[in-house]
Amino acid sequence: MIPYGRQDITQADMKAVLEVLKSDFITQGPSVPQFENALATYCGVSHAIAVNSATSALHIACLVLGLGKNDWLWTSPNTFVASANCGLYCGANVDFVDIDPKTYNMSIEALTAKLVEAEKQGTLPKIVIPVHFAGQSCEMQAISRLSDKYGFKIIEDASHAIGGKYLGDPVGNCRYSDITVFSFHPVKIITTAEGGIATTNDEELAARMRRLRSHGITRDPQIMADAIDGPWSYQQIELGFNYRITDIQAALGYSQLQRLDQYIERRHQIKAQYDELLETLPVVAPWQHPDAYSALHLYPVQVDPNTCAKTRKEILTAMRAAEIGVNVHYIPVHTQPYYQQLGFRHGDFPNAEKYYGHTMSLPMYPLLSDAQQRYVIRALKDALA
Ligand SMILES: *Cc1c(COP(=O)(O)O)cnc(C)c1O
């Protein structure tokens, strides 16, 4: 089976992990800050806080930005459920902003219109989470301008986008946001098996996220509630979690990070080949925004219902029968049973639903060989015929 995405683990990765296993610390040792510092430098951001998943990073990001009961969090419906669930973890209300049919990212027009309406209703969001779908940055300048006007905070869900750029600068630099979150799940661009990270330029937000990832405990006498008992002292000053990442994982992440640019280049090669090979077929290739250099986590094509006689389901089934693990990104979050139970309805976000009806992600990962890619295209041609 050719999957839609998979990790690349090298000898160097294995050596890095083995070294940690033989060392004094397999968690809470030096590998975590080493990974954090290297990633912060790569992204051009002041702080990086590594945790055990992007989901955890989203949760603590929402908490430190003050999200709570009666607040609103808005995100894109074209995302993984975690981008919305983090709001519910904090007891807040969640709503969605429909996508732009061209970029498949949160639409600036829809966001603007929804903000105007919410201002009238007194239901402006506290946090907006733009999701850089498939690795392509959202239009962050425009979202940042709206945040100045309407007073919401911004968390970039860049789970797909490490190694990508926006206006020539690395995604994750938080120039247009409060916090950015990356995922290191094996299907993503680089991996730590499970893992995630939050980046920010705000020292206080960083310190608080560090504390929340480890039970709300501090060892800093400056912020302890009362005098320390002795050198063993620590104090829990708020309710946190165990969201720590291990040194084993951080060493893998650090080793993977050394190949990040290579990975992105290879993904762009694969994309260029797909673009060329698909040109004559009744499918819509992913459009690239001129402001963004995509990390190309995904290569989603839309089966064009105007020119294609087959349905997406027929094509996807035929591809899977040919041992190609094509997948669909994403089932709009508001159509999930859990969200339906919260009151959302089919038809609420028509662009995301329409896109979902036609889309299919073709295999896209650095180890996909040219021969495998040609096989994918041949199978797609057969399925479309
Ligand atoms: C993968 C993903 C997440 C969750 O990442 P985990 O590290 O698995 O928790 C969140 N948002 C998006 C857009 C994702 O693709």
- In this structure, the answer to whether residues 251 and 279 fall within a common structural domain is no
- In this structure, the answer to whether residues 292 and 245 fall within a common structural domain is no
Answer whether residue 232 shows pLDDT above 90.
Answer: no
| pLDDT number for residue 16 | 98
Residue 246 C-alpha to ligand 1 middle, in angstroms?
A: 18
What's the domain range around 350? 261-384
- Report the C-alpha gap between 330 and 204 in whole angstroms: 34
| pLDDT number for residue 298 | 98
167-181 pLDDT, tens digit each: 999 999 999 999 999
149-164 pLDDT, tens digit each: 999 999 999 999 999 9
- In this structure, the answer to whether residues 66 and 85 fall within a common structural domain is yes
- In this structure, the answer to whether residues 166 and 277 fall within a common structural domain is no
- In this structure, the answer to whether residues 222 and 96 fall within a common structural domain is yes
Residue 262 C-alpha to ligand 1 middle, in angstroms?
A: 22
| pLDDT number for residue 108 | 98
Mutate to test the pocket of ligand 1, among 53, 159, 160, 182 (most ligand atoms within 8 A of CB): 159
Please check whether residue 114 is in contact with residue 126, taking contact to mean a CB–CB distance below 8 angstroms.
no
36-86 pLDDT, tens digit each: 999 999 999 999 999 999 999 999 999 999 999 999 999 999 999 999 999
Residues with CB under 6 A from ligand 1: 53-55, 79-80, 82-83, 131, 157, 159-160, 183, 185, 196
| pLDDT number for residue 226 | 82
Residue 195 C-alpha to ligand 1 middle, in angstroms?
A: 9
Q: Could you tell me the sign of the dihedral formed by the alpha carbons of 199, 203, 204, 208, in that order?
A: positive
pTM of the model: 0.98
The CATH number that applies at residue 346 is: 3.90.1150.10
**Number of structural domains found in the chain:** 2
- Report the C-alpha gap between 34 and 38 in whole angstroms: 6
- In this structure, the answer to whether residues 113 and 214 fall within a common structural domain is yes
Please check whether residue 264 is in contact with residue 188, taking contact to mean a CB–CB distance below 8 angstroms.
no
Answer whether residue 223 shows pLDDT above 90.
Answer: no
- Report the C-alpha gap between 322 and 324 in whole angstroms: 6
- In this structure, the answer to whether residues 291 and 180 fall within a common structural domain is no
First vs last C-alpha separation in the chain: 22
Mutate to test the pocket of ligand 1, among 4, 53, 80, 330 (most ligand atoms within 8 A of CB): 80
- In this structure, the answer to whether residues 238 and 295 fall within a common structural domain is no
